[in-house]
């Protein structure tokens, strides 16, 4: 596969190149849990499913830590790579790897030492205790593998090798199927066999990740330069929203389990088993959507680092559309064939089948809203707006679910538990949609502040529309243009004075200033400067016939936005500030003096 240029390649084609392997990777990660659930349900029935669901919070914590370091470090790693700062990128990889090694050692030691109290806290009492203990034990022994799988798939993708990342998860999924069948059905090792199968499967992905770092083109190299506690804290801060999103699933699963046990009485095992099926379907659906947001992350991170806000918004909007489309497919399938999905996991009695199908349909109604929320949270994370991303993650995946499930269970019983997802996602999307629009416009306005010779007082959306129509999205290039104009030889080189740049860069360092009442002229100059910066970058580009495109672009620009005046003594097109004002903004008797 040819190397993808994240800053210049076609938006749709670039996104698809990252989308397919990313979605495949995340679905395959969730597939590990799906296979465990399927095999355990078919072999051990309701009690096996209940024990697995009680164990799930531990696995979630480990995955969450791996994703936090992988996504946090990966965003910084990608940003440095696009700037060609290889030493910094390698330092980020090394720092991230050290965090993984230290945390996995600590968790394994403490987890095995306090295994029995952990199982009791999870709710693994009575008939569910042994199965829960067997599963959790092997997960904790292989802590580094669970954390390392998420870490390496994320870093490999940010290392511009999305297909290799997909291969890693495919490898783990394949091994998991083989080991589950072997350990559960052939050797009859029960819950311990299911846990060991998954643990060995994710280990294969870690080994592939280590091997991939030895590729010649890879920047995943060990470098102890630029290491420091500050960088480690930044990695964790940037990835914190992902950690909260994932670990919150474990915490919420734990709370839901406890609530169901309390309100179900003698039917607690069945209620938890039903919730286990619901969580499993949730995991697959949300994994697919997370794959979309993961595909968007390195692309948005690279473009935000280059100041290309227009492309950032286009990629984000495209990700939202894909998330909506994919979630609609899942919702239709669940609403249509809920009973069939339940039978995939076990052979239920009529009461269990009816209750499980009812739960799936209620929860499934939230998937479309949830898909949009996931992508928008990923947007804030990708642009390294860590505080906003963490806040939204906490609201959506922890605070609201816990508050709503407790309240709804109190008033509506088990039905209230299943309605929780719809209420949470609907509340969150209102907050996120407003914040996304506001924050994008705020970033655009901050970027426009580089044009420091004017005060913009127009509505920002007007500027955004102009930028979108003309493609002048690289606002950072304006500084380069101004530096060029300040150094150029004015006697031997000419630039059309369509925006008055000569007046801004005279030998005497005289700059153009304007009164507050001339803000409309100010808007015109800002617009012209943006367009000029974009057109100047085209001077090295040629069309298919080999001709330079700058003259055609300049002519179209002047014709559309300015009144031309030709200097008879030369071929240079010039225009005064007064003439640069569009006629619709001029008054008959109150033209500004310049």
SS3 state at 466: helix
Q: What is the DSSP string of 104-134?
A: HHHHHHHHHHTHHHHHHHHT--GGGHHHHHH
Provide Rg for the chain, Cα atoms: 29
Q: What is the pLDDT of residue 529?
A: 54
Return phi, psi of residue 221, to 5°.
-115, 150
Task: Look at the block and give the residue holding tokens 């095995």.
Answer: 112
**Rounded Cα distance, 57 and 494, in Å:** 68
Those residues whose C-beta lies under 8 Å from the C-beta of residue 181, and which sit 6 or more positions away, are 39
- In what helix (H) or strand (E) does residue 565 lie, and over which residues does it extend? strand 565-566
Those residues whose C-beta lies under 8 Å from the C-beta of residue 518, and which sit 6 or more positions away, are 592
Q: What is the pLDDT of residue 242?
A: 77
pTM of the predicted structure, to 2 decimals: 0.65
CA 410 to chain centroid, in Å, comes to 35
pLDDT in tens, the chain (594 residues): 456 777 777 778 888 888 887 787 677 667 766 777 888 888 888 888 998 899 989 998 999 999 999 988 988 888 788 778 888 888 999 999 999 999 999 999 999 999 999 999 998 877 888 999 999 999 999 999 999 999 998 899 888 787 888 788 778 888 988 999 999 999 999 999 999 999 999 999 999 999 988 888 888 988 887 777 888 888 888 888 778 767 877 888 899 999 998 898 778 888 999 999 998 898 888 888 888 988 888 888 887 766 676 677 788 889 999 999 999 999 999 999 999 999 988 888 899 999 999 999 999 999 999 999 999 888 887 776 777 887 888 888 889 999 999 999 999 999 999 999 999 999 999 998 888 877 766 665 555 444 433 333 343 344 444 444 444 444 444 444 444 444 544 444 333 333 333 333 333 443 333 334 444 444 555 555 555 555 555 544 554 455 444 444 444 444 444 433 334 444 434 443 334 333 333 333 333 332
Those residues whose C-beta lies under 8 Å from the C-beta of residue 232, and which sit 6 or more positions away, are 95, 98, 99
Closest CA to 577 of 523, 527, 526, 521: 521
SS3 state at 490: coil
């Amino acid at each position: 596969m040819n190397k993808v240029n994240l800053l210049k390649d076609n938006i749709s084609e670039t996104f698809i190149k990252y989308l397919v392997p990313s979605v495949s990777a995340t679905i395959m990660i969730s597939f590990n849990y799906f296979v465990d659930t399927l095999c355990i349900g078919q072999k051990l029935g309701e009690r096996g499913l209940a024990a697995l669901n009680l164990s799930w919070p531990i696995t979630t914590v480990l995955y969450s830590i791996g994703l936090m370091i992988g996504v946090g470090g990966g965003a910084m790693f990608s940003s440095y790579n696009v700037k060609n700062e290889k030493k910094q990128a390698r330092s980020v990889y090394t720092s991230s790897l050290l965090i993984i090694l230290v945390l996995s050692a600590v968790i394994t030691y403490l987890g095995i030492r306090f295994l029995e109290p952990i199982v009791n806290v999870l709710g693994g009492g009575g008939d569910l205790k042994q199965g829960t203990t067997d599963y959790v034990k092997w997960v904790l022994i292989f802590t580094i593998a669970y954390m390392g799988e998420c870490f390496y798939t994320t870093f490999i993708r940010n290392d511009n090798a999305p297909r290799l990342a997909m291969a890693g998860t495919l490898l783990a999924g394949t091994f998991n199927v083989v080991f589950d069948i072997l350990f559960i059905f052939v050797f009859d090792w029960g819950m311990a066999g299911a846990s060991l199968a998954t643990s060995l499967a994710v280990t294969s992905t870690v080994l592939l990740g280590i091997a991939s770092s030895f590729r010649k083109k890879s920047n995943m190299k060990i470098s102890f330069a630029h290491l420091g506690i500050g960088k480690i804290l930044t990695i964790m801060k940037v990835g914190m929203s992902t950690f909260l999103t994932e670990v919150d699933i474990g915490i919420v699963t734990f709370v839901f389990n406890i609530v169901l046990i309390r309100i179900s009485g003698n039917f607690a095992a069945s209620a938890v088993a039903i919730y286990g099926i619901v969580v499993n379907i949730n995991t697959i659906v949300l994994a697919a959507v997370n794959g979309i947001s993961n595909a968007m992350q390195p692309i948005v991170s690279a473009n935000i680092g280059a100041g290309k806000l227009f492309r950032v918004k286009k990629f984000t909007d495209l990700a939202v559309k894909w998330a909506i489309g994919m979630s609609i497919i899942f919702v239709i399938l669940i609403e249509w064939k809920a009973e069939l999905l339940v039978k995939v996991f076990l052979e239920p009695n009529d009461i269990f089948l009816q209750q499980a199908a009812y739960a799936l349909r209620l929860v499934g109604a939230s998937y479309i809203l949830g898909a949009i929320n996931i992508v928008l949270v990923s947007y804030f994370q990708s642009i390294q707006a860590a505080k906003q991303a963490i806040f939204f993650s906490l609201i959506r995946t922890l605070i609201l679910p816990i508050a709503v499930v407790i309240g709804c269970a109190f008033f509506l019983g088990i039905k209230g538990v299943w309605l929780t997802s719809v209420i949470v996602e609907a509340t969150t999307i209102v907050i996120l949609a407003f914040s996304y629009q506001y924050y994008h416009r705020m970033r655009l306005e901050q970027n426009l502040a580089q044009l420091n010779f004017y005060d913009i007082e127009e509505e920002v959306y007007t500027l955004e529309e102009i930028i979108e129509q003309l493609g002048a999205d690289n606002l950072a290039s304006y500084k380069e243009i101004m530096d060029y104009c300040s150094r150029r030889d004015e006697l031997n080189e000419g630039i059309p004075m369509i925006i008055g740049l000569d007046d801004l860069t005279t030998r005497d360092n005289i700059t153009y200033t304007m009164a507050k009442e001339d803000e409309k002229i100010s808007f015109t100059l800002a617009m012209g400067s943006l367009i000029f910066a974009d057109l100047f970058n085209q001077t090295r580009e040629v069309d298919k016939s080999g001709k330079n495109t700058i003259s055609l672009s300049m002519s179209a620009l002047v014709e559309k936005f300015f009144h031309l005046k030709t200097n008879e003594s030369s071929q240079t097109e010039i225009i005064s500030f007064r003439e640069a004002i569009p006629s619709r903004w001029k008054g008959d008797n109150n033209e500004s003096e310049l």
